[in-house]
């Protein structure tokens, strides 16, 4: 399943962050995973994007563990 074009565009815009390292991680994720995400996974990804940049980067780099199980799969994919 794929995100509708408006939602995909909004997600791409939301992935433009203040940290270059995080931008690179999120860009790779969008290229590889966005077309494959289910609606539930898209919801989880949007929830993840509400976190502060440093928290997302720490999760993606494995320096922090996720406390919300709904975000676990997304974080695992970010770490690949």
Q: Which residues contact 43 (CB under 8 A, 6 or more apart)?
A: none
pLDDT value at residue 53: 96
Q: For position 62, what pLDDT does the model report?
A: 96
- Tell me the pLDDT of the chain (80 aa) as tens digits: 567 889 999 999 999 998 999 999 999 999 999 999 999 999 999 999 999 999 999 999 999 999 899 999 999 999 97
Q: What is the pLDDT of residue 60?
A: 96
The ranges assigned to domains in the chain are 5-78
25: how many CB neighbours lie within 10 A of its CB?
Answer: 20
The CATH superfamily holding the domain 5-78 is: Flavinator of succinate dehydrogenase (1.10.150.250)
Q: What is the pLDDT of residue 1?
A: 54
pLDDT of residue 65: 93
pLDDT at 3: 73
């Amino acid at each position: 399943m794929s995100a509708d074009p408006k939602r995909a565009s909004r997600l791409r815009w939301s992935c433009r962050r203040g940290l270059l390292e995080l931008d690179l991680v999120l860009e790779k994720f969008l290229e590889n995973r966005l077309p494959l995400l289910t609606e539930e996974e898209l919801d989880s990804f949007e929830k993840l994007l509400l976190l502060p940049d440093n928290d997302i980067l720490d999760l993606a780099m494995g320096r922090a563990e996720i406390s919300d199980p709904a975000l676990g799969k997304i974080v695992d994919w970010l770490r690949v």
